């Protein structure tokens, strides 16, 4: 079984927890997820199965869409609802126009400091493992891009167990962002910009690359009926459909699956213009996907293809 399965991750599980459960259900060791969702977050988590684990790097750099809620006036040590409250302030005077104006400041390329409770590695060690030891380390800011950030609903709400203030401002939002964006950090930074602090109290990933939540499968559905995987799995060829396609002759096929450069003379056809350094899908004359090649320009100025990932067997 080789392909991509789009899971609607439930709350309370890490992304790796999902992988572990699927390995048990499907009796398949080679499973890996594309991108990471925090335990509290729900939504789209694409999972690669079998040979498809070889294409994770080609799928992981796509943009993501989220919907969530930010609670203003309450900060936590994890920047989301799972953490301990570290500061409480009055956010009742924040108005909808204040939020709308601040959100505009975060559109475009921004700097983010990765949260301590994250999977990012510093000197080979995951930050969340360092945080569990009660330690904090310096983190360099990273650049991410916010393509779109919109206010969906603004409201005020009482928070049970917090008596310092009667009402806390909250708002629902949607965001489209680049790979590597920490939405928890975004929530924290927005709260700081508004002068009252805040945390991410809800998060749903609605899209990851080409895959949307509407096309996802619940983990419980797979537990109850593992057979649905066969009708839900996305072939590797379809998963890579954003890449141009090249068809090679039998000579080109033999070269490719043996890791040898494919010459222009071995190309039968391609479905669009191919440029230097493009990654392309390599197909044989029967339409079977052989793997991924990278285009490069030879001395004779012709485009040749270097095997990057080979899926077909010799």
DSSP readout, 248-276?
A: E-HHHHHHHHTTPPBPGGGEEEESS---T
Rounded Cα gap, residues 235 and 221, in angstroms: 20
Alpha-carbon dihedral angle through residues 182, 187, 188, 192, given to the nearest 10 degrees:
140
How many residues in total does the chain contain? 314
Sign of the Cα pseudo-torsion (304, 310, 312, 314, in order): positive
Per the annotation, the verdict on 284 as an active-site residue is no
Contact assessment for residue 56 and residue 208, using Cβ atoms and an 8 Å cutoff: no
Rounded Cα gap, residues 171 and 201, in angstroms: 10
Q: Residues near 172 by Cβ (< 8 Å), separated by ≥ 6?
A: 67, 68, 69, 151, 152, 153
- Rounded to 5 degrees, what are φ and ψ at 92? -65, -20
- How does DSSP classify residue 242? T
Choosing from 2, 38, 80, 266, the catalytic residue is: 38
Rounded Cα gap, residues 143 and 153, in angstroms: 28
Helix axes 183-194 and 96-104, enclosed angle (nearest 10): 120
Q: Is 109 helix (H, G, I), strand (E, B) or coil?
A: strand
Sign of the Cα pseudo-torsion (248, 252, 255, 259, in order): negative
Rg (CA), the chain: 23
- How does DSSP classify residue 131? H
Which residues are designated catalytic?
A: 38
């Amino acid at each position: 079984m080789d392909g991509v399965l789009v899971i609607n991750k439930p709350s309370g599980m890490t992304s790796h927890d999902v992988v572990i459960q699927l390995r048990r259900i499907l009796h398949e060791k080679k499973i890996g997820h594309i991108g990471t969702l925090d335990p509290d977050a729900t939504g789209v988590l694409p999972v690669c199965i079998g040979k498809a684990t070889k294409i994770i790097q080609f799928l992981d750099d796509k943009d993501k869409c989220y919907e969530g809620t930010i609670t203003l006036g309450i900060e936590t040590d994890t920047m989301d609802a799972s953490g301990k409250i570290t500061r409480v302030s009055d956010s009742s005077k924040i108005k909808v126009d204040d939020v709308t104006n601040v959100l505009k400041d975060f559109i475009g390329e921004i700097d983010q400091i990765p949260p301590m409770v994250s999977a990012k590695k510093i000197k080979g060690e995951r930050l969340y493992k360092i945080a569990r030891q009660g330690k904090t380390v310096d983190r360099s800011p990273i650049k991410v891009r916010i393509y779109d950030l919109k206010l969906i609903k603004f409201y005020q709400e009482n928070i049970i167990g917090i008596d310092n203030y009667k009402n806390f401002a909250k708002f629902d939002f949607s965001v489209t962002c680049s790979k590597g964006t920490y939405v928890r950090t975004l929530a924290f930074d927005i709260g700081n910009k508004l002068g009252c602090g805040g945390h991410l109290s809800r998060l749903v990933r609605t899209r990851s690359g080409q895959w949307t939540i509407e096309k996802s499968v619940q983990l419980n559905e797979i537990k109850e009926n593992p057979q649905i995987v066969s009708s839900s799995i996305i072939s590797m060829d379809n998963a890579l459909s954003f890449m141009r396609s090249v068809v090679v002759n039998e000579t080109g096929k033999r070269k490719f699956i043996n890791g040898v450069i494919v010459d222009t003379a071995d190309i039968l056809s391609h479905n669009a213009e191919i440029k230097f350094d493009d990654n392309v899908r390599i197909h044989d004359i029967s339409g079977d996907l052989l793997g991924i090649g990278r285009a490069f320009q030879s001395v004779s100025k012709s485009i040749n293809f270097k095997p990057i990932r080979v899926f077909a067997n010799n």
